[in-house]
Amino acid sequence: MSTRRRGRTQTPPLPSFLPVTQRNAAAASRGTDRQRRPVTGRAGPALRGRRSVAAERAKASRPSVTGARAPPTRPPVHWRAATPDELGPRPFKFSSTAPSPSPSPSLPSHPPCLSPPPLRSLPPQIRASEDPGRRIPPPMAVNGSANGSSGANGSAGPTRTVLVTGGAGYIGSHAVLQLLAAGFRAVVVDSLENSSELAVRRVAALAGDHARNLSFHKVDIRDEDALDAVFASTRFDAVIHFAGLKAVGESVQKPLFYYDHNIAGTINLLKVMAAHECKKLVFSSSAAVYGSPKNSPCTEEFPLLPHNPYGRTKLMAEEICRDIYRSDSEWRIILLRYFNPVGAHPSGYLGEDPRGVPNNLMPYVQQVAVGRRPSVTIFGNNYATKDGTGVRDYIHVLDLAEGHIAALRKLFDSSSNIGCEPYNLGTGKGTSVLEIVNAFEKASGKKIPLVIGQRRPGDAEILFAGTGKAERELNWKAKYGITEMCRDQWNWASKNPYGYGSPDSTKQNGSNSH
């Protein structure tokens, strides 16, 4: 909108939060506009109904209908100014003296880049304000030319490039950080429908110098054209597929919504992978495919009898992967069946940020501890277990992330004869609901009020993983115990009581069922 002053037309400056490409296009358009204005300062009719120079150039650069698909012309990362809601009540800050939990003697050490970096090592944009939530880092890009990466990590040769769908989510963000630490290049695609871009920015800050090997595209994998453009710009050696919805209760209420996201999205991904000759996949499945087995430990050979639409979407996706392998033996696919992921990054800067009412025990307990909810409801205290409450297998998210690295190495191992194989990821140990609550109370110093409810139909008394196959074939084993899980979960919750700052639209007097 222009203003008149002393016979001259003046234009307000462009907003600073616009992406660079938009600012350049707008500036070019304004320059052409000014050249064609009459001397009187009035906007003449010459411009009406005509395209700007930037628009004409964009039109000229478009490929013809019969031509090959052109790579995306926009940069992969569109940073913008963060809103107060995104930052939450406690803005995220890095400092050289940032508090971190003291590790227990049994806690395994982390790669150096997984610790909060000192202030001097952060990019200038972050160092200037000490807050990557307020000053956004510049766009991150994958180094190296498109369509050209091969070789094995940890040995001579180019670094492998991995596409991570859903890499801004809870498990995905931790896996991306582990990928960078292991020497991979990571390209994240995420629709941000149930995740936060702030998670990717924090991964970049935590990764330090490794952030140069990270890029991000805001893409819904159900959009085949957009996903194809990402593949056209970079040759991927493998894909880790996290993207999807995961709330069991919501899947019962909105089954078509879940089939559309989890099944249609997976089909699109596999179609684009096949078109670009990328045939190595690690799929994020779930122990929900087993339903409620009567015996434990639950091994990969147990019957697959999911009880809800969410579990059925995971099983259907597994079957699609198996069918693809049967039709083309060049595919190498690993299906990772998670049990109950908990915990957070030890820095307290990455963690689970559920939208709405949490569906799982640990994030619900965490919200009670920070005062967002009054109590936790335990459904059933008369099971045939040591304290009467249900027993489940809880696994630290860092162990889970490391499981994906182990799966990738298996896919890249030319000596392995893997086709399409499932693996359980858990600790192989059962922990009761009351044991989790007690451990969290010790970690947080907070009392967690409990309400005892009736049993829920279909809930298994005891369910924990049989992990022997993963230990033997992936050379992987969970390292963290409940103490470390609760310690890291509380460290995340105390620093981020409202997660990544997503609006809390749920009632504060809700309760959860476990």
- Is residue 221 domain-shared with residue 329, that is, in the same domain? yes
Flag whether 460 is in a domain.
no
Are 337 and 400 spatial neighbours (Cβ–Cβ below 8 Å)? Answer: no
Q: Residue 459: its pLDDT value, please?
A: 84
Are residues 231 and 345 located together in one domain of the fold?
yes
Band of residue 461 on the pLDDT scale cut at 50, 70, 90: very high
Split at pLDDT 50, 70, 90, the class of 416 is confident
In a domain, 438, yes or no: no
Same domain for 205 and 128? yes
User: Comparing 34-43, 55-64, 358-367, which segment has the lowest mean pLDDT?
Assistant: 34-43
Whether residue 451 has pLDDT greater than 60: yes
Rg (alpha carbons) of the chain, rounded to whole number: 25
Domain shared by 119 and 243, yes or no: yes
CB 187 within 8 A of CB 236: yes
Share of the chain above pLDDT 90, in %: 61
* Residue 327: φ, ψ to 5°: -85, -20
pLDDT band at 76 (very low <50, low <70, confident <90, very high): low
Mean per-residue pLDDT of the chain: 77
| Strand-strand pairing, 450-453 and 376-379 | parallel
pLDDT reported for residue 111 = 34
Residue 453 in any domain: the answer is no
Residues sharing a CB contact under 8 Å with residue 433, sequence separation 6 or more, in sequence order: 361, 378, 389, 390, 392, 514
Q: What percent of the chain is predicted at pLDDT more than 70?
A: 67
Range of the domain at 104: 84-349+395-427
pLDDT-based confidence at 414, cuts 50/70/90? confident
Residue at 355 is within a domain: no
Q: Do 345 and 202 share a structural domain? A: yes
Handedness of CA 349, 353, 483, 487 (dihedral sign): positive
Least confident of 43-57, 231-245, 300-314: 43-57
Instruction: Determine the residue type at 48.
Output: R
The whole-number pLDDT of residue 77 equals 53
Please count the structural domains in the chain: 2
Tell me, yes or no, if the pTM score tops 0.85: no
Specify whether 236 is located in the same domain as 173. Answer: yes
**Band (25; pLDDT cuts 50, 70, 90):** low
Mark whether 26 and 132 lie in a shared domain.
no
User: What are the tens digits of pLDDT across the range 119-128?
Assistant: 223 333 333 2
19 with 157, same domain?
Answer: no
* 100-146 per-position pLDDT tens digit: 333 333 333 333 333 333 322 333 333 323 333 333 333 333 333 33
Same domain, 330 and 404: yes
Q: Measure CA 486 to chain center.
A: 21
State the average pLDDT over residues 315-330. 98
**At residue 199, does pLDDT exceed 60?**
yes
| The pLDDT of residue 395 is above 70 | yes
How far CA 263 is from CA of 67, 304, 322, 466, in Å, comes to 31, 17, 14, 27
**Residue 486 counted as domain residue:** no
Specify if 109 maps to a domain.
yes
- At 158 the pLDDT is 59
| pLDDT at residue 434 tops 90 | yes
Residues 188 and 333 reside in one and the same domain: yes
* CATH number, domain containing residue 113: 3.40.50.720
Work out the average pLDDT over 3-32.
48
**Does residue 318 lie in a domain region?**
yes
Average pLDDT over residues 473-490: 98
Pair 172, 98 in one domain: yes
Residue 259 among the catalytic residues:
no
Alpha-carbon distance 490 to 445, whole Å? 10
Q: Does the residue 331 lie in any domain?
A: yes
Higher pLDDT: 185 or 5? It is 185
pLDDT, position 494 = 94
pLDDT at site 74: 46
Q: Same domain for 165 and 279?
A: yes
Tell me if 443 sits within 8 A of 490, measured CB to CB: yes
- Annotated catalytic residue within 290, 310, 364, 498: 310
245 close to 310: Cβ distance less than 8 angstroms:
yes
- pLDDT for the residue numbered 34: 44
Element (H, E) at 142: none
Q: How far is CA 64 from CA 52, 68, 227, in A?
A: 21, 8, 20
pLDDT at 150 over 90: no
Statement: residue 47 has pLDDT above 60: no
Average pLDDT on 212-234 reads 97
- Residues 205-220 have a mean pLDDT of 96
